[in-house]
C-alpha cells in the first residue's frame, strides 16, 4: 500500500480564505507531571455537544488543571465516533465563521480539510473508505458561494521511530504531551496504519493528513484540485 501526505497547493492560484473556529472544544491543560501548559488536539466536526450539561465549559479556549480537563473529557467521550482520541484543545461541531474568495475542490484551513459538495459526491461514488463530510456554518459575502463540507479525519497512524530524533523521549505518561517537533523527513510505521481507511491523520502529529494511493488516484482522475499529494515512505 502506498501513502501520501495531503498539503495545500499554493501554486493553484485560488484566493479563498476561511476565518472560522469550531463551535465547541476541550480546554488546554496544565500538567503537574511535566509542568507543561499546552493545547493541540484533534477535530471531530460530526460531534454534537448539545446533550452535554454545562455546555458553556466547551465554548471558551483556556487552560485548565488536568483534573478539570479529565472531567470534561468524560462528558464528551460517549459522543465520539469509534477510534476517536481526545487531547487538550480537541474541537467538536461545525466550523463557524466567515469565508470568501475563489476555492478549489479541496480547501486546507489550518488543520482542517474542506471539500466542495460536488467533489465530495464524486469521491463518495468511488467508494472511498472512511469519507465523512460534515456541514459547516460559514457565511459568504459573495454571489455563487460554494457549499463547503469539512472532512472528519480520524487519528489512526504514527511515525516510525527511525525518523524521530536520537534523543527522543516518550510522551508524558499523564497528559500525553510530546515535545518532539515534526521531523523534516517523515516515515510511517506500517504496524500502526489502518487497513480500512483511505484518509486519516497521524495520532502523534495531528497536523499531518495522510491518504492512500486509492484516494490520491481517485482525486486526480476526477480532476479535483486545491491540494497536492506528496509520497510518504513506510517501514
Cβ atoms of 1 and 220 within 8 Å: the answer is: no
- Asked, for residue 223, whether it belongs to a domain, the answer is yes
- Asked, for residue 139, whether it belongs to a domain, the answer is no
Do the bridges between strand 133-135 and strand 148-151 make them parallel or antiparallel, or are there none, so unpaired? antiparallel
- Asked, for residue 106, whether it belongs to a domain, the answer is no
Residue closest to 139 by CA, chosen among 19, 22, 14? 19
**Which residues span the domain enclosing 192?**
3-10+156-232
**Strand, helix or coil at 214?**
helix
Fill in the DSSP letter of residue 215.
H
Task: Please state the domain count of the chain.
Answer: 1
**Residue 94 parent element (H or E):** strand 91-100
- Asked, for residue 186, whether it belongs to a domain, the answer is yes
Fill in the DSSP letter of residue 77.
G
- Asked, for residue 141, whether it belongs to a domain, the answer is no
C-alpha distances (whole Å) from 40 to each of 13, 58, 109, 136, 204 are: 30, 15, 15, 21, 11
- Asked, for residue 201, whether it belongs to a domain, the answer is yes
Q: Is 100 exposed, middle or buried (0-12, 13-18, 19+ CB in 10 A)?
A: middle
- pLDDT tens for residues 50-85? 999 889 999 999 999 999 999 999 999 999 999 999
- Asked, for residue 24, whether it belongs to a domain, the answer is no
**Residue 132 parent element (H or E):** none
**Strand, helix or coil at 45?**
coil
pLDDT by 10s per residue, the chain, length 235: 899 999 999 888 899 999 999 999 999 999 999 999 999 889 999 999 999 988 999 999 999 999 999 999 999 999 999 999 999 999 999 999 999 999 999 999 989 999 999 999 999 999 999 999 999 999 998 888 899 999 999 999 999 999 999 888 889 999 999 989 999 999 999 999 999 999 999 999 999 999 999 999 999 999 999 999 999 999 9
Cβ atoms of 32 and 100 within 8 Å: the answer is: no
Amino acid at each position: 500500500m502506498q501513502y501520501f501526505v495531503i498539503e495545500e497547493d499554493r501554486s493553484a492560484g485560488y484566493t479563498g480564505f476561511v476565518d472560522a473556529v469550531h463551535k465547541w472544544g476541550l480546554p488546554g491543560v496544565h500538567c503537574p507531571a511535566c509542568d507543561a501548559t499546552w493545547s493541540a488536539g484533534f477535530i471531530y466536526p460530526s460531534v454534537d455537544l448539545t446533550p452535554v450539561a454545562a455546555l458553556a465549559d466547551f465554548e471558551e479556549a483556556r487552560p485548565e488543571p488536568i483534573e478539570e480537563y479529565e472531567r470534561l473529557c468524560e462528558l464528551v467521550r460517549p459522543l465520539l465516533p469509534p477510534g476517536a482520541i481526545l487531547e487538550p484543545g480537541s474541537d467538536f461541531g461545525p466550523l463557524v465563521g466567515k469565508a470568501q474568495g475563489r476555492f478549489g475542490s479541496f480547501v486546507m484551513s489550518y488543520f482542517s480539510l474542506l471539500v466542495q459538495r460536488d467533489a465530495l459526491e464524486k469521491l463518495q461514488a468511488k467508494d472511498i473508505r472512511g469519507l465523512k463530510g460534515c456541514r459547516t456554518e460559514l457565511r459568504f459575502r459573495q454571489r455563487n458561494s460554494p457549499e463547503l463540507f469539512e472532512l472528519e479525519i480520524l487519528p489512526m497512524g504514527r511515525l516510525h521511530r527511525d525518523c524521530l530524533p536520537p534523543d527522543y523521549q516518550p510522551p508524558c505518561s499523564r497528559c500525553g504531551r510530546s515535545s518532539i517537533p515534526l521531523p523534516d523527513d517523515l516515515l510511517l510505521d506500517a504496524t500502526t496504519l489502518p487497513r480500512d481507511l483511505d484518509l486519516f491523520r497521524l495520532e502523534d502529529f495531528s497536523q499531518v493528513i495522510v491518504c492512500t494511493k486509492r484516494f490520491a488516484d481517485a482525486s486526480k482522475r476526477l480532476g479535483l484540485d486545491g491540494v497536492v499529494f506528496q509520497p510518504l515512505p513506510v517501514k
